[in-house]
Amino acid sequence: MIKIISRNALILASFALVSVGLISLTYFITRDTITSEKKAALVRTLDQLVDADLYNNDVYKDCTLLTGSETSQHLRAYRMRNDDLPVAAVLESIAPNGYSGKIHMVIGIYADGTISGVRITEHHETPGLGDKIELRKSDWVLGFNDKSLIEPNISQWTVKKDGGDFDAFTGATITPRAVVQQVAKTLQYFNEKQVVIFEGANNCHGETNE
């Protein structure tokens, strides 16, 4: 019996080693392709938020890590420059209080503090209700375009149900409220830390969001 158990254990261990080896081999073979695809997807998103004709630097490499105000994790800021002059930045941001958890987004902001665009990159909101924050589900997120802390006034940066300037969704107020509040916080952060954002070290490469 002991010999049978030992033999089976050896077989299982061999299968495990082979599986780990195949996974590792697959990773090394595909990692460059995966990295290229991620970079291409990022570039497409950045181009949606800030017109590529407005800047001439390599945005993917011109990136600095920031510490989020709501969390200790590092968030990325991609800087757009034209002949070294700041044009805009796209900041990662996380609304911690969505209906079903955290809502990840990227927010493009011109150097004058005006929003160029907002896109939701990850969420777990209710399909058919809260998921209308996605551009492919509705154009709600386009309502942030050209907004700033002056227009509307910071006191109006909430949904209309709370006396603010932004529409909510029928049957779903928590989700848009969370997004609007986080976009406003990110705008305030940008206005206060713009020098840090544009002068910070290029240190994004090799970092990950946990």
Select the more confidently predicted residue: 43 or 65: 65
- Model's pTM, two decimal places? 0.78
- The region of weakest confidence among 105-119, 142-156, 194-208 is 194-208
State residue 170's pLDDT score.
84
- Residue (of 113, 83, 131) closest to 188 by Cα position: 113
State residue 71's pLDDT score.
45
Mean pLDDT of 102-124: 95
- Residue (of 109, 179, 181, 188) closest to 145 by Cα position: 109
Select the more confidently predicted residue: 145 or 204: 145
Q: pLDDT by residue (tens digit) across 155-189? A: 999 999 999 999 998 888 999 999 999 999 999 99
